[in-house]
Structure 1
Amino acid sequence: MGIKSFQGARRQQANTADTTPFKVSDYMSTDLITFSPDQSIESVIETLIKNKISGGPVVNDKDELVGIISEGDCIKQISESRYYNMPMQDKTIEKHMATNVETIDGNMNIFDAANKFLQAKRRRFPIVEHGKLVGLISQKDILKAAMELKGQNWWK
């Protein structure tokens, strides 16, 4: 209910990017672990485990977003390689990553972003500016922002 009252107050503000309160770009991660399309599935799995992450963006040599690879994508390859008795060492992620990647605008406020997470059932959204990957917002980032802002009117 508090979110509704916040959205009502927000609608009265100017709709310019610079005045958007609590922007995604203020809470997104910019120090990203990225992958390349020609990277092996095995090396991606090692990176996911080592860094305790569940997936990440795939970029080309120009830092343009070309896909997302997830634990689920890797698990599917493990399962299929065993089923078909085929080694995984030579397989790259290019054919196994999600390429229809939904992005989010860095100027969107985190409350609208939270709603987008609920609707899309995604764990993370990349942020792209001028064709280049500039950040990533995760569900955890939204939670951190909410805790940081809990003194605001919307939390009461």
Structure 2
Amino acid sequence: MNIKDFMIADVITAKKNMSIKELLELLVTNRIGGVPVVDKENNLLGMISDGDVIRYLQPKGRTVYDMYALVLVSEQEDLIHKLGYAIDHKLEKVMSTKDIFTVHPDDKIENALAIFSKYGFKKIPVVNDDSKVIGVVSRGDIIRYISTTLISKTEEQ
């Protein structure tokens, strides 16, 4: 089975100049956890996920001042403050640009399985021969394929 047989071809993408707020609206509206970031020609620039946003919003470490501030300000107010500060930041500050793996539509399912199992990604962009994003494959797509196709064949025997 090839990637093109079960990839999502109606891919939702983001642009690097989108704000975190626009990304969150995109993710929530479409009930997805991440998207490829592309340029005007649909070339892959990076990936962005809900996990990237969460890691961006989480303070790196606490100083003595931070600990004192936590006594004065609730955690919720601290998060609201951080959101207010970061919500307009552009995706290019947050998106992953290194160690981005892709698959080709003619690749076998095993290529995607190997990437998912080794790196723990949730989605892999599918690119054509011109390196344009033409789809995505998610862990859920693989599981649905295994469930509906492979298990059904096993039960028929």
Aligned in 2, Cα 1:151/1:137: closer, same or farther, shift over 3 Å?
same
Q: Kindly indicate whether residue 150 of structure 2 is the aligned counterpart of residue 145 of structure 1.
A: no
Higher fraction of helix: 2
Q: Which runs of structure 2 are paired with 1:125-136 in the superposition (5 Å)?
A: 125-129=124-128, 130-136=130-136
Counterpart CA distance in 2 for 1:107 and 1:154 is: 28
Please name the residue that 1:87 is paired with: 85
Q: Which runs of 5+ in 2 are unaligned?
A: 60-77
Q: Kindly indicate whether residue 35 of structure 2 is the aligned counterpart of residue 51 of structure 1.
A: no
Letter paired with 1:152: K
Moved more, 27-36 or 101-110: 101-110
Please point out which of 5, 14, 17 is paired with 1:38. 17
Deviation of the 1:154 alpha carbon:
10
The normalised TM-score by structure 2 is 0.75
Secondary structure class of the residue paired with 2:85: coil
Counterpart CA distance in 2 for 1:108 and 1:153 is: 24
Counterpart CA distance in 1 for 2:90 and 2:96 is: 13
Aligned in 2, Cα 1:79/1:151: closer, same or farther, shift over 3 Å?
closer
Secondary structure class of the residue paired with 1:57: strand
Letter paired with 1:74: V
Q: Deviations over 1:30-89 (max 9, x none)?
A: 111110000001110121122111111000011111010011111123334x58967124
Counterpart CA distance in 1 for 2:87 and 2:133 is: 28
Secondary structure class of the residue paired with 2:136: strand
Task: Report % sequence identity.
Answer: 28
Secondary structure class of the residue paired with 1:30: coil
Max Rg structure: 2
How large is the RMSD of aligned CA atoms in angstroms? 2.5
Deviation of the 1:144 alpha carbon:
1.5
The number of equivalent residue pairs is: 135
Please name the residue that 1:119 is paired with: 118
Please name the residue that 2:75 is paired with: none
Runs (4+) of structure 1 exceeding 4 A deviation are: 82-86, 153-156
